[in-house]
Structure 1
Amino acid sequence: MKKKINHILPALVLTASLGLTTVSCNGFLDEMPDNRTELNTDQKIAKLLVSAYADVSPNELFELYSDNSDDSGPTYGYYKLSEQECYHWQDTKEEYQDTPNSLWGGYYSAIAAANMALNAIEEKGNPASLDPQRGEALVCRAYCHFMLANIFCNAYDTHASQSLGVPYMEEVETTVSPRYERGTLEEVYRKVERDLLEGIGLISDDSYSVPKYHFTRKAAYAFAARFYLYYMKPDFSNCDRVIDFATRVLGTNPADLLRNWEALGNLSVNGNVQADAYIASSNEANLLISSTISNWGAIGSDYLIGPRYFHNQTLATSETCLSSGLWGSSDYFYLKPFSTNGFVASILRKSGLYEGTYLYYMPVLFSTDETLLCRAEAYALKKMYSQSAADITSWQRAYTRNKSVLTPEQINAYYNKMSFYTPFTQQTPKKQLAPDFTIEEGMQENLIHCILHIRRITTLHEGMRWPDIKRYGILIYRRDMANQRVTDEMPPNDLRYAIQIPRSVIVAGIQPNPRRN
């Protein structure tokens, strides 16, 4: 059984079967060395790395925080109290799955596993035979810290050297009651980059029996593309790396590598039929799949639980998966949301209801479709508008029945005519942007509006909208749909962009994120 995580940064006890249980640092140190399984074979080290992939997902938290959710009113229920608190951008005190407490513990547990593997490899003298395992451990460590920064820190910008980071764990803990410092966001990103680049060069796909659940070369390249997109530089030099790594995944003609949205849309939305197909390891579009303990799969299932703070039909028709666009009306979409008479929620069936001791959720962490949009954005920021439009065309041809070729001029004209969003009175997908970097009015800004729109559609329910809101300083609102009123708003650079670290971590002495009194 998974124990409740109530410590700061979990260490790991290895059982005889190399299963992992989270315990306190003191508990780990109390174990005699001969009571811990030694990582004395290559096979044991490789097996340990299964636990370097966190069994948590921020997708519920990110979707609740973003403008992909509304309060549909007290007529509808919610599944857990944390949904109400997180939807209202409150610092929740709840500690079960999908909460900040669970995410903090889950990612640091995975980091501890990666560090134990790296330590064992180093003790063996870093032999070339273990290079693939060393590479995987480094990329896993980088990814987990990257995710922690996305949850508990601001978006990376020109103020990153003054912004709070997260503790970057590089060693196996060997002291009782250690002190941890958060450092700066700049330091975190530099270390993520270091681990990622070193690890990518060592990864070997041949070392995996089920590659889609591990960082293959392509999955690591996709991670690098997203990382450099978020590692924003004022001169957009980071975008060169985005384009490079995304092209390693996609090549110059990505059409054959994208998801077959038409085939997916033809499957039944009932049960797990469509959801199972979406997360299938046999699907070439899925680059990395995860298995997590989360309620999000159940909330997004056809069991229709917890619809109050969720994506509803109003959002779907005006801003997301049933919205109009360059492709025409929503009739052109291959993938349509699940809904039913009298039900307010609008759900794309991307995860089924998987039950065991806990509710399980199987998110796709990286896909060719999302990597394509990373490259399209990088091209737009570099003013390579024809290349950006070509990637947008590839997306449109895969996701919709509209097979026309889009030009930068068409995209610019369409989004230039679109009105900016206002709550209730002008509900459009085009929202005011206030990023830390400079975007030119006209062509560049309108291509970015297009990319933000189609990424929001493509990754709905998958937690990608919240980082976009932070990166682009998008003003969002909390809407009471029953009474047609705005109850709160989050302007650019709001302190709540950095979700509060767990209460137990603050009590233990780690600096909290600032809040207004």
Structure 2
Amino acid sequence: MKQLIIYLLPICLLFSSCKKFLKETSPDEIKPTTTDDLYALMISDAYPYTANLEDFSDILTDDVRSYGMPRKSTGEQNTTYSSYYQNGQGVFKYDAEELDGSEGTAATALNAWARYYSKIKGCNIIIDYIDNVSGTQKDKDALVGQSLLLRAFYYFKLLQLYCAPYVASAASTPGVPLILSMQVSDEHIGRSTLQETFDQVEKDLTQAATLLEANYKTPNAYRVGYIAAYALLSRVYLYKGEWDKAIDYAEKVLAERSQLTDMSLSSSSGSLYIYDQSQSAEVIFQYGSNPSGVTTFFPSPISYSGMHAPYEVADELGQLYENNDLRYKFYFYKVTVSGASYNTRSSKIGVNSKGGDKGIRVAEMYLNAAEGLARRFKSGGQETDRTSALQYLNTLRQNRFSSPYTTIDIQNADSLISFALAERRRELCLEENFRWADIKRLGLSVTHNFIDADGNSTIYTLAANSPLYALPIPVTALERNNKLTQNAR
């Protein structure tokens, strides 16, 4: 059988002079000729699946705290977790030289730039090559729709990490390089503006929604369809502060996918994983690695063995949950240290479950609609906006609390917005870099208390509206593209 070969440039050559991605080199190595061939390529090179694209952004936030290095009963350092301590300290301390990979031990893991552009490259190949293969127009449109959605998703991820928040000056604020074709010229590509990058994300998602609604039905939550496109548009518009559009697209999703997982039905079993599709009906799109595994920054939660890892869930986050809020029980792995229980990592997917704990859930749409309506109530004073925001919040919370649930009724606009934001943090914690994106768009400061290997404390602060909201671009990308400009520090 002939083997399908797609010659993809290494990420280091994204901006170099090679002009061909596809070629034939022997009778057994051929170009793709059918939509089935391109589908196979899309699965391997465009979809994220179990890829660990970024597992460091939570460490930047106030949802994670430092515990230093654990010690043995003799007082000696227990070096079991020394690599996690070393790898995460530059992120936790907002060290620009470690964040850009020029120093430290985690340069590869911190280079989300390369991983996202590698996936964008896969999307571009599908889009560019679609007219060169045989297949029905319906199948071709389905492939292009999925690739456009995924490309927009990856560009939005790059915006959240490497760019300043969306502001009125977006037309003159640096975005990221927009690479929209598999063809690479001799010219290096500089950064588009923030406005241009957001415009491309919106264009891709809008076109994807149209193509997918007409041509593709998702077989499971590991694929993206038009509902995922609507959900991402709601996410993008919320981040931009365009409340009407954020509400509109959230409600488009909820008109077709409104079911939430009632945690009270599982409260006695002690086992519910919100991203486990066998337990949860609210997963729209799912990807990522299982948190039971070891990452560069976190050990497996099943190996904690009575001692703290260097970086764990912050007490501040745990204190946001009321006593009968079942999310505190189901959303965190826990460890017992000296007789006390502590939250360690996210447990939104089980150690024996399929898939990861990232993606899109129905719950996010309730929160997007609620926040947008609360903000519109503040600006316009319409009572229907207030009551609708409360309805979305109460519906979500009714499915998260043990019975009986007491509904909330908030009259003041600022209080309603604050409550919606706190509910967002409770529901979407340690998932899909939501907290980092919210810190940026809300202009919040973060104070970290770093515990070193000897137990000494040092305070590091990310100031409100800090230049480091736009993380340093990896030095490897700058070295290979002389038109890239580094972010301010």
- Alpha-carbon distance change, 311 to 510 in structure 1, aligned in 2, over 3 angstroms: farther
**TM superposition shift of 1:253:** 9.7
Matched AA of 2:89: Q
- Alpha-carbon distance in 1 for matches of 2:456, 2:397: 34
Aligned to 1:366: 360
Is the Cα–Cα contact under 8 Å of residues 261 and 280 in structure 2 kept in the other structure?
yes
**TM superposition shift of 1:19:** 7.5
- Alpha-carbon distance in 2 for matches of 1:481, 1:31: 48
Aligned to 1:34: 24
Structure 2 residue 62 is the aligned partner of structure 1 residue 67 = yes
**TM superposition shift of 1:261:** 2.4
**TM superposition shift of 1:507:** 1.5
1:263-317 deviations in whole A, cap 9, x for unaligned? Answer: 4554456xxxx55x633267320000114497279646322297222214x3344
- Alpha-carbon distance in 1 for matches of 2:398, 2:236: 26
Aligned to 2:3: 16
Structure 2 residue 229 is the aligned partner of structure 1 residue 220 = yes
Is the Cα–Cα contact under 8 Å of residues 100 and 501 in structure 1 kept in the other structure?
no
Aligned to 1:242: 246
For normalisation by structure 1, the TM-score amounts to 0.76
3-state SS of paired residue (1:161): helix
Residues 449-464 of structure 1 mapped to structure 2, 5 A cutoff: 449-462=418-431, 463-464=433-434
3-state SS of paired residue (2:172): coil
Aligned to 2:195: 186
**TM superposition shift of 1:20:** 8.1
Aligned to 2:486: 513
- Alpha-carbon distance change, 266 to 19 in structure 1, aligned in 2, over 3 angstroms: farther
1:81-137 deviations in whole A, cap 9, x for unaligned? Answer: 331111111232268697331x11221111111111111124469945411111111
- Alpha-carbon distance in 1 for matches of 2:409, 2:343: 35
- Alpha-carbon distance change, 105 to 253 in structure 1, aligned in 2, over 3 angstroms: closer
Is the Cα–Cα contact under 8 Å of residues 84 and 309 in structure 1 kept in the other structure?
no
Aligned to 1:3: none
Aligned to 2:78: none
Counterpart of 1:153 (choices 163, 168, 171) is 163
Matched AA of 2:202: E
Is the Cα–Cα contact under 8 Å of residues 301 and 349 in structure 1 kept in the other structure?
no
Matched AA of 1:247: E
Matched AA of 1:100: L
Aligned to 1:9: none
Aligned to 1:444: 413
Matched AA of 2:435: R
Aligned to 1:47: 40
**TM superposition shift of 1:365:** 0.7
Matched AA of 1:262: S
Aligned to 1:310: 312
- Alpha-carbon distance in 2 for matches of 1:367, 1:86: 28
- Alpha-carbon distance in 1 for matches of 2:137, 2:105: 41
Is the Cα–Cα contact under 8 Å of residues 235 and 246 in structure 2 kept in the other structure?
yes
- Alpha-carbon distance in 2 for matches of 1:331, 1:119: 47
- Alpha-carbon distance change, 209 to 388 in structure 1, aligned in 2, over 3 angstroms: closer
- Alpha-carbon distance in 1 for matches of 2:194, 2:23: 36
**TM superposition shift of 1:488:** 1.7
Residues 97-496 of structure 1 mapped to structure 2, 5 A cutoff: 99-101=109-111, 103-123=112-132, 127-176=137-186, 178-204=187-213, 207=216, 210-232=219-241, 238-251=242-255, 254=258, 257-263=259-265, 265-268=267-270, 274-275=272-273, 278-280=275-277, 283-292=280-289, 295=295, 299=299, 301-304=301-304, 307-312=309-314, 314-318=315-319, 320=320, 323-324=321-322, 335=330, 337=332, 338-342=334-338, 344-353=342-351, 362-383=356-377, 384-401=385-402, 402-409=404-411, 443-462=412-431, 463-480=433-450, 487-496=459-468
1:245-270 deviations in whole A, cap 9, x for unaligned? Answer: 1112213994xx1123234554456x
Is the Cα–Cα contact under 8 Å of residues 72 and 308 in structure 1 kept in the other structure?
yes
Aligned to 1:87: 92
**TM superposition shift of 1:446:** 1.7
Which blocks of at least 5 consecutive residues in structure 1 are unaligned?
A: 1-14, 233-237, 410-442
- Alpha-carbon distance in 1 for matches of 2:279, 2:69: 42
Is the Cα–Cα contact under 8 Å of residues 298 and 353 in structure 1 kept in the other structure?
no
- Alpha-carbon distance in 2 for matches of 1:219, 1:331: 27
Is the Cα–Cα contact under 8 Å of residues 189 and 231 in structure 1 kept in the other structure?
no
- Alpha-carbon distance in 2 for matches of 1:309, 1:266: 30
Matched AA of 1:408: I
Q: Quick one: percent identity of the two aligned structures? A: 19
**TM superposition shift of 1:152:** 0.7
Is the Cα–Cα contact under 8 Å of residues 87 and 297 in structure 2 kept in the other structure?
no
**TM superposition shift of 1:335:** 2.9
Q: Number of residues paired by the alignment? A: 444
Is the Cα–Cα contact under 8 Å of residues 160 and 184 in structure 1 kept in the other structure?
yes
For normalisation by structure 2, the TM-score amounts to 0.80
3-state SS of paired residue (1:362): coil
RMSD: 3.4
Is the Cα–Cα contact under 8 Å of residues 376 and 389 in structure 1 kept in the other structure?
yes
1:433-460 deviations in whole A, cap 9, x for unaligned? Answer: xxxxxxxxxx232222212211111122
Which blocks of at least 5 consecutive residues in structure 2 are unaligned?
A: 72-80, 378-384
3-state SS of paired residue (2:360): strand
- Alpha-carbon distance in 1 for matches of 2:352, 2:324: 34
Is the Cα–Cα contact under 8 Å of residues 119 and 172 in structure 1 kept in the other structure?
yes
- Alpha-carbon distance change, 57 to 148 in structure 1, aligned in 2, over 3 angstroms: farther
- Alpha-carbon distance in 2 for matches of 1:354, 1:131: 36
3-state SS of paired residue (2:397): helix
Matched AA of 1:83: G
- Alpha-carbon distance in 2 for matches of 1:109, 1:336: 31
- Alpha-carbon distance in 1 for matches of 2:401, 2:252: 25
- Alpha-carbon distance in 2 for matches of 1:90, 1:152: 15
Is the Cα–Cα contact under 8 Å of residues 88 and 297 in structure 2 kept in the other structure?
no
Matched AA of 2:417: I
Which deviates further from its counterpart, 493-502 or 343-352? 343-352
Which structure carries more relative contact order (alpha carbon 8 Å, separation 6+)?
A: 2
